[in-house]
Amino acid sequence: MLFVAEYEFGWEALSTVVAKRLEWGHAQPDGFRVVGEYIWQEREPAFRGIAVIDAREVEVLNAFALHYGPTLKMMIHPATDVQSGIALLHDAQSGTPRARRGASAARRDAVSPSTRRPRRR
């Protein structure tokens, strides 16, 4: 399964984050693979980055997050490549793709018309 880890940290954590990243390269468990990793410099926080991760089990993601601990702020999201996502939506055997409704649409529909705000254009 693919995941995207977004992270950010400041100058004060730079040497610790670099050391932990080098350690992780030697200590990462089986079933964990960094597909790609990119970082850029910002103003505040000083650094932001993403890592695309292929993980067989959620436990290896937990180990990854715990390895860094409080040295950086991290959010991990499940992901899929675009072609696989399109294939899921247009499964040839099911015919017409099933429309999916997000939580915001369900909440919006639950609001009565008299209390609904007009949409901005």
The verdict on residue 119 lying in a domain is no
Nearest Cα neighbor of 54 from 74, 81, 72 is 81
- Is 22 contained in some domain? yes
Angle ∠(25,12,23) on CA atoms, nearest 5: 10
% the chain with pLDDT above 70: 75
In the chain, the percentage of residues whose pLDDT exceeds 90 is 61
104 pLDDT above the threshold of 80:
no
Residue of 16 and 115 predicted with greater confidence: 16
CA atoms of 105 and 115, how far apart (whole Å)? 15
Q: Quote the domain boundaries for residue 12.
A: 2-80
| Whether pLDDT at 93 is above 90 | no
Q: How many Å apart are CA 31 and CA 95, to the nearest integer?
A: 35
Structure tokens at 58: 């959620």
Answer yes or no: is 28 within a domain.
yes
Q: Is residue 108 part of a domain?
A: no
- The per-residue pLDDT of the chain, averaged, comes to 82
Convert the pLDDT of each residue in 38-60 to its tens digit: 999 988 899 999 999 999 999 99
Domain-located, residue 106: no
User: What CATH number should be reported for the domain holding residue 22?
Assistant: 3.30.70.100
Domain total in the chain: 1
Task: Check: pTM over 0.75? Answer yes or no.
Answer: no
Whether 103 is covered by a domain: the verdict is no
Nearest to 72 by CA among 8, 23, 5: 8
| Residue 101, in any domain of the structure | no
- Is 60 exceeded by the pLDDT of residue 63? yes
On the question of pLDDT at 8 being above 90, the answer is yes
For residue 100, pLDDT over 60 is answered with no
Domain contains 107:
no
